[in-house]
Amino acid sequence: MKKLFKSTAVAVLATLMMGTSVNAFAHKVGIVDMQEIYKQLPQMAKIEQSLQTEFAERRQELEKLQGDIRFEAEKFKRESTTMSQDQKDALRDKIQGMQKNLAEKGRPLEQEIKSRQNQELAKVQTLIIETIQEIAKKGDFDEVKVKDTTIYFNPKEVTDLSEKVVDAVSKK
Domain limits, the chain: 2-170
Report H helices in 31-171.
34-40, 42-79, 85-138, 162-170
Question: Domain 2-170 falls in which CATH fold?
Answer: Protein Binding, DinI Protein; Chain A (3.30.910)
Longest CA span, the chain:
122
For the segment 120-136, the average pLDDT, to the nearest whole number, is 92
Condensed to tens digits (0 to 9), the pLDDT of residues 130-165 reads 999 999 999 888 888 898 888 887 777 888 888 889
Q: What is the DSSP letter of 138?
A: H
Exposure of 166 by Cβ count < 10 A (0-12 exposed, 13-18 middle, 19+ buried)? Answer: buried
Cα–Cα distance, 103 to 88 (Å, whole number) = 22
pLDDT digits (tens, 9 = 90+) for 33-74: 999 999 999 999 999 999 999 999 999 999 999 999 999 999
Task: Please give the model's pTM, rounded to 2 decimal places.
Answer: 0.66
The SS3 of residue 108 is helix
